[in-house]
A and B are shown apart, each in its own frame.
Chain A
Amino acid sequence: MTTFVQQLVNGISLGSIYALIALGYTMVYGVIKLINFAHGDVFMVGAFVAYFAYTGLHLGFIGSLIVSMAACALLGVLIERFAYRPLRQSTRIAALITAIGVSLFLENAGIIAVGAQARGYPDMLPGSPFQVGGVTISTKQVEIILLAVLLMVLLQFIVHRTKIGKAMRAVAFDQDAARMMGIDVDRTISYTFAIGSALAAAAGVVYGAYYSAVDPLMGIMPGLKAFIAAVVGGIGIIPGAMVGGLVLGLIETAVQSFGFSLWRDAAAFALLILILLVKPEGLFGRHAREKV
Chain B
Amino acid sequence: MRRKWSFAAALFLGGSLLAACGGGAGTTGGNSGGDTIKLGANLELTGSVAAYGSSAKKGMELAIEEINQAGGVLGKKLELIPIDNQSDTTQSTTVAQKLIDQKVVAILGPATTGNTMAELNVATDNKIPIITPTGTALKITVDENTGKTNEYAFRMCFIDPQQGKVGADFVAKELKAKTAVLYVASDSDYAKGLAEAFKKEFEAQGGKVIGQEYYVSKDVDFKTTLTRIKGLNPDVLYIPNYYEDCGKIIKQARELGIKQPIVGGDGYDSDTLVSIAGAENTNNVFFTNHYSADDPDPTIQNFVKKYQAKYNQKPDSFAALGYDTVRLVADAIKRAGEANPVKIKDALAQTKDFEAVTGKMSFDAQHNPVKLVTIIEMKDGKQTLRTKIKP
CA A262 – CA B216 in complex, angstroms? 7
Task: Please list the residues of chain B having a beta carbon within 8 angstroms of any beta carbon in chain A.
Answer: 47-48, 50-51, 186, 213-216, 218, 220-221, 223-225, 227-228, 231, 244, 247-248, 251, 255-257, 272, 274-278
B248 and A6 within 8 A (CB): no
CA A117 – CA B243 in complex, angstroms? 11
Q: List 27 A-B contacts (CB under 8 A).
A: A3-B227, A3-B228, A7-B227, A10-B223, A13-B223, A14-B221, A117-B51, A117-B272, A118-B244, A119-B272, A129-B255, A136-B255, A136-B256, A212-B247, A212-B248, A213-B220, A213-B247, A213-B276, A221-B218, A252-B224, A256-B225, A256-B228, A257-B227, A259-B213, A261-B213, A262-B215, A265-B216
A60: Cβ under 8 A from any B Cβ: no
Chain B residues whose CB sits within 8 angstroms of the CB of A212 once the complex forms: 247-248, 251, 276-278
Q: How many residues on the A side are at the interface (Cβ–Cβ under 8 A)?
A: 34
Q: Which of A220-271 contact B (CB under 8 A)?
A: 221, 252-253, 256-257, 259, 261-262, 265
- CB within 8 Å: A-B pair count: 82
Chain B residues whose CB sits within 8 angstroms of the CB of A13 once the complex forms: 223
Out of B224, B231, B244, B257, name the residue touching A213 (CB < 8 Å): B244
A115 and B257 within 8 A (CB): no
B272 and A3 within 8 A (CB): no
Chain B residues whose CB sits within 8 angstroms of the CB of A82 once the complex forms: none
Q: Which of A155-206 contact B (CB under 8 A)?
A: none
A116-132 near B? 1/0 per residue, CB < 8 Å = 11111101000001010
Chain B residues whose CB sits within 8 angstroms of the CB of A3 once the complex forms: 227-228, 231
CA A10 – CA B223 in complex, angstroms? 7
Given the interface contacts A118-B244, A118-B272, A262-B216, does A136 sit within 8 Å of B257 by beta carbon? yes
CA A218 – CA B48 in complex, angstroms? 14
CA A161 – CA B227 in complex, angstroms? 43
Chain A residues whose CB sits within 8 angstroms of the CB of B223 once the complex forms: 10, 13-14
A138: Cβ under 8 A from any B Cβ: yes
Given the interface contacts A116-B48, A118-B276, does A211 sit within 8 Å of B220 by beta carbon? yes
> What's the nearest-Cβ distance from chain A to residue B245, in Å?
9
Chain A residues whose CB sits within 8 angstroms of the CB of B275 once the complex forms: 119-120
CA A43 – CA B186 in complex, angstroms? 27
Chain B residues whose CB sits within 8 angstroms of the CB of A129 once the complex forms: 255-257
Given the interface contacts A3-B231, A262-B216, does A253 sit within 8 Å of B276 by beta carbon? no
A88-111 near B? 1/0 per residue, CB < 8 Å = 000000000000000000000000
A261 and B255 within 8 A (CB): no
CA A15 – CA B144 in complex, angstroms? 45
Chain B residues whose CB sits within 8 angstroms of the CB of A136 once the complex forms: 255-257
Chain A residues whose CB sits within 8 angstroms of the CB of B227 once the complex forms: 3, 6-7, 10, 257
A257 and B48 within 8 A (CB): no
CA A7 – CA B223 in complex, angstroms? 8
> What's the nearest-Cβ distance from chain B to residue A19, in Å?
14
A120 and B272 within 8 A (CB): yes
CA A221 – CA B218 in complex, angstroms? 10
> What's the nearest-Cβ distance from chain B to residue A229, in Å?
14
Out of A6, A14, A218, A261, name the residue touching B214 (CB < 8 Å): A261
CA A116 – CA B52 in complex, angstroms? 13
A14-34 near B? 1/0 per residue, CB < 8 Å = 100000000000000000000
Chain A residue nearest to B227 (CB atoms) is A6
> What's the nearest-Cβ distance from chain A to residue B255, in Å?
5
Chain A residue nearest to B187 (CB atoms) is A262
CA A256 – CA B214 in complex, angstroms? 10
